[in-house]
Amino acid sequence: MARNLAVVGAGLMGSGIAQVAAQGGWTVTLVDTTEQALARGRGGIEASLEKFAAKGRISAEDAGATLGRISTGTELDAAADADLVVEAVFEQADIKRDIFATLDGLVKDTTVLASNTSAIPITKLAAATSRPERVVGTHFFSPVPMMALCELVRGRHTSDETLATAREFAESAGKTCIVVNRDVAGFVTTRLISALIVEAAKLHESGVATAEDIDIACKLGFGHAMGPLATADLTGVDVLTHASENIYTESRDEKFAPPESMRRMVDAGDLGRKTGRGFHSY
């Protein structure tokens, strides 16, 4: 397959996807609305590659070649020649649908449109296009250069060819894939972690145990690498709250409804590591 990729959204996820794709040999265009956002994204990629080179995981030459394969643009038109587009913007369905509708009129008929969403049904996004068979979910994990998993999600009309294209892309970027065959909100991984985090937050809210002890219980009792509340802090309490709310809205399953304490943390700006305070302090 041709290897021209566009990534829409230069935040933590989008820049990470751009990096691993460029490391895998793809020619990448990173798209965001402002030069400032693109500069931050490119700066993050440079810092990540420098760390890898310092640790001997890649050579300085490979790091330079990876950066050389990444260009930037502030308009979606920059994605026009892409063979694959990955959308990696904020978890809000209306914003994503607008992007997909615009891309549908810009890119080639053969282009695959993918979303990095962690919870929004792919079918809902695909319906904004005239090519639902060429729309797929490619859910990467943060931080993308370090995490080995990519969750591939079939929409209701996603073709086998599109799924195969998405798998080839993700594997070329160094990821191991799982396939979600039925397009339920939250897929596999976000449903599992959301249910665990929501229950952990409820236990914390009601004073059953401290955040520290809840996380220790999951690490030592279940062998988890990180406890659920520390995971929420790493991912972003706001991100997990929105994801759980999206699943709850779609499923009406009460176990996914974020407790009041999580909503108030978002209101207060206690979003986890990125703000210095969440369930834990940093």
Q: What is the pLDDT of residues 171-230, one digit of tens each?
A: 999 999 999 999 998 999 999 999 999 999 999 999 999 999 999 999 999 999 999 999
DSSP H/E element including 14: helix 12-23
Q: Which two tokens stand for residue 137?
A: 């979910």
First to last CA, the chain: 44
Structural fold of domain 4-180: Rossmann fold (3.40.50)
pLDDT at 142: 86
* Digit-coded pLDDT (tens) for 142-167: 899 999 999 999 999 999 999 999 99
Tokens for 157, please give them.
């009309």
Average pLDDT over residues 129-134: 98
Q: What does the pLDDT average to over 258-274? A: 97
pLDDT in the model for residue 275: 97
Tokens 């797929």 sit at which residue?
Answer: 136
Confidence of residue 1 (pLDDT cuts 50, 70, 90): low
What is the residue extent of each domain of the chain? Answer: 4-180, 190-274
Tell me the C-alpha distance between 129 and 97, whole Å: 8
Known binder of ligand: residue 48? yes
H helix or E strand, kind and range, residue 70: strand 70-73
What span, in angstroms and rounded, lies between the C-alpha atoms of 160 and 88? 23
pLDDT at 246 over 90: no
CB 272 within 8 A of CB 235: yes
Q: Is 55 annotated as a binding residue?
A: yes
Supply the pTM of this predicted model: 0.90
Q: For position 16, what pLDDT does the model report?
A: 98
Look at residue 72 in the predicted model and tell me its pLDDT.
97
- Average pLDDT (15-33) is 98
Mean pLDDT of 66-83: 97
Average confidence (pLDDT) over 230-236 = 94
Q: What percent of the chain has pLDDT over 70?
A: 99
- The tens digit of pLDDT for each residue in 78-103 reads 999 999 999 999 888 999 999 999 99
Q: Domain 190-274, CATH 1.10.1040.10 — does that match? A: yes
What mean pLDDT do residues 62-84 have? 97
Which residues are CB-neighbours of 270 under 8 A, at least 6 positions away?
237, 277, 278
Cis amide linkage into residue 143, ω under 30° from 0: yes
Instruction: Give the whole-angstrom CA distance, residue 95 versus residue 162.
Output: 23
Q: According to the model, what pLDDT value does residue 277 have?
A: 97
Q: Binning pLDDT at 50, 70 and 90, where does residue 71 land?
A: very high
What pLDDT is stored for residue 91 in this prediction? 85
